[in-house]
Amino acid sequence: MLSAELKAFYMVARLGSITQAAKKLGLSQPTVTTQIRNLESQYSVELFYRGGRRLSVSEEGARLLPMVKVLMQQAADIEFFLRNCGQVQGSLRIAATAPYYILDLVKTFRERLPQVEVSVEIGNSQQVLEALEDYRVDVAASSQLLDDARLIRRVLGSDPLVLAVHRNHPLAVHDRISLSALAGHTLLMREPGSTTRRLTEELLASASVCFGPRLEIGSRESIREAVLRNIGISIIARQEVPHDPQLRVLTIENAPQIPEYLYCLKERKGARLPAAFLGLAQEMAPA
């Protein structure tokens, strides 16, 4: 019970939000609130200062936080060891920003190690890298380039950024366009934390393009559906555009490639299953 309460404290302290902590833990907000209050009540300590809806870590909470972080890492290490200590069986947890590169690896990995359980969760770059750093997954595929001494990195591939439009959109008559042609049109954007969104904003800012109203939609699937309904246009990686007669894919002049990387914590790269997956990624890497 105490372990659950300490985990709730750690996530709330790290994220500064009960709502976000509950989402990460897969719990309801009232459950997380109750766990924090039980911990404070049981030991007669104030771990957070409360001001309206805002929480800030108290002095006691700040001293407790590094100890709990060590405990969470130890628990993650134990769980990782138990999942990977078998000679044949085990489980590998993967997080990825998109399925396109990772699923080919998973297919081959499962063919070679059919008794290993594999789970894949999809999120944006920020989410999948946080999952790796929090020991919630063993490897993470992301289009975000990180130079972090704690991580090892493999290149999975790259894809050009293109413009996806409905076939009835005014821009659909073109095969290739300049960024200036986007001016005045409604642009569909991913949520903050998405590498595609960051690259899109940088690309348009560098070209001084003043586009029309932005519509933020929190997943690539929803963006594709919005384009299919001719709600707006979207800059997107080529592989993310589905084959659909209602869609047109336009080449953008001077558009960058969007890469995909595979990350693993250095401290775990030698473990049997992550090492096997990393080796496979190296073997299947583009020439």
> What is the per-residue pLDDT across 88-101, written as a single tens digit (0 to 9) for each?
568 899 999 888 88
pLDDT in tens, 42-79: 888 999 888 766 788 899 989 999 899 888 888 877 87
Are both 2-62 and 159-258 of the same fold? no
For residue 53, the tally of other CB atoms under 10 A from its CB is: 8
Residue 35, both tokens? 């766990």
**Architecture of the domain whose range is 83-156+259-283:** 3-Layer(aba) Sandwich (3.40)
Confidence of residue 180 (pLDDT cuts 50, 70, 90): confident
Rg of the chain over CA atoms, in angstroms? 22
Give domain limits for the chain. 2-62, 83-156+259-283, 159-258
Confidence of residue 1 (pLDDT cuts 50, 70, 90): very low
Q: What is 2-62's CATH number?
A: 1.10.10.10
Among the residue ranges 127-141, 167-181, 273-287, the one predicted with the least confidence is: 273-287
How much is the pLDDT for 85? 63
Convert 47-87 into a string of H (helix), E (strand) and C (coil): CEEEECCEEEECHHHHHHHHHHHHHHHHHHHHHHHHHHCCC
Question: Looking at domain 159-258, which of 3.40.50.300, 3.30.470.10, 3.30.465.10, 3.40.190.290 is its CATH number?
Answer: 3.40.190.290
